[in-house]
Amino acid sequence: MRIGIPRELKPREGRVGLVPAACAELVRSGHEVFVEAGAGEKSGYTDQHYRDIGVKIQPTAREVYGGAQMIVKVKEPVEADLGLLRKDHLLFCYLHLAALPDLTRRLCEIGLTAVAFETVEDQFGRLPLLAPMSDIAGRLSIQIATCLLHQPQGGKGILLGGVPAARRGRVVILGGGVAGGNAAIVAAGLGADVVVFDKDRDKLVAAREIGANVTGLYPHTADVADAVRSADIVVGAVLVTGARAPHVISSDMVRHMQAGSVIVDISVDQGGCVETTRPTTYDAPTYVWEGVTHFTVTNMPGAVPRTSSQALSAAIAPYAGRLADGDWQDDADLRKGINVMAGKVVHPALLS
């Protein structure tokens, strides 16, 4: 199969669909791989790195799309990508269509088949292609929020872990899955008082095992509202596979937070679990609503492209190989990843 990897176009997005080592596996299997010139540079990979393992470098995206049967990229296609996609393309990337009805319509009009990283699901119900970016987004959420608490950034002027004679910062995390769990690990490691809300008792047990400064609670509305009111940082990490994230934190809860507090909504890709969330980019990553700073960038892991590209490639490369080898629709994991098939929406979460 001819596989195309275009350069990512979202603002300050440095990731690349597949790093050279992953491409080498595809080339050894007999596939042709085309990479747009400069696509890997921000992740630390030059065009020569790709040439050295048999990848063909194309000068523009038009050549990449024009010669490929399968397109492997990181983020959902933007307008410039949509103009180059064809009916016969197999698209493999993050899509998050539940929050993007216009993109869903455009993909259907093109008539292609699209497999979304975030809905590929293994036999144990895990999301193996979402997990590596959730790892990174969870950790970044606390790193970023900690800086946003600094007074020069408009924050409360709090050191998250506190010091003797000064209280620790308070962190509230909605969702104890991969992203929320990683956020809790970093926040607890910095010394904050952390509360993780989740409906799954096993996730609450895992949260408590992080450390004595982590509490796991069921998300009763009154308890969430009480915790959010006194929080310095709130992290939204709620996920319903393939579907729009529910609003767990209302605008009224946000209104009662202290000025200078910070919200990081990792769920923004799926619409956000905070009612006051709206998507932002790294060009203008934050906004203030009722005195509360919101960080709601839709491609958070793009800030650390070298780490992100390596982790993502390790996860998606075997699946890209299965797609390229043909008969992939017999693969149960990949079948669950199909969002659009020949121009028709097929994923149950998008049909409901």
CA-to-CA separations, 72 to 6, 97, 201, 233, 246, in angstroms, rounded = 8, 17, 37, 35, 29
Structural tokens at position 10: 């979202």
H helices of the chain, in order, are 20-28, 47-51, 61-67, 79-82, 101-110, 131-148, 178-189, 201-210, 221-229, 251-255, 305-325, 332-337, 348-351
CB within 8 Å of 36: residues ≥ 6 apart: 4, 5, 6, 7, 57, 58, 59, 60, 61, 63, 64
Compute the distance between CA of residue 317 and CA of residue 324 in angstroms, rounded to an integer: 10
Q: Do residues 65 and 237 lie in contact, with contact meaning Cβ atoms separated by under 8 Å?
A: no
Choosing from 81, 135, 269, 333, the catalytic residue is: 269
Verify whether residue 256 is a known catalytic residue: no
Strand duo 170-174 + 193-197: pairing: parallel
CA-to-CA separations, 245 to 164, 206, 273, 334, 347, in angstroms, rounded = 39, 23, 5, 22, 16
Choosing from 31, 89, 96, 247, the catalytic residue is: 96
Q: Do residues 290 and 122 lie in contact, with contact meaning Cβ atoms separated by under 8 Å?
A: no
Q: Which residue type sits at 195? A: V
Verify whether residue 269 is a known catalytic residue: yes
Q: At what angle do helices 305-325 and 131-148 cross, to 10 degrees?
A: 160
172 three-class SS = strand
7 φ/ψ sector (left φ>0, alpha ψ -120 to 50, else beta): beta
Strand duo 56-58 + 214-217: pairing: unpaired
Residues recognised as catalytic: 96, 269
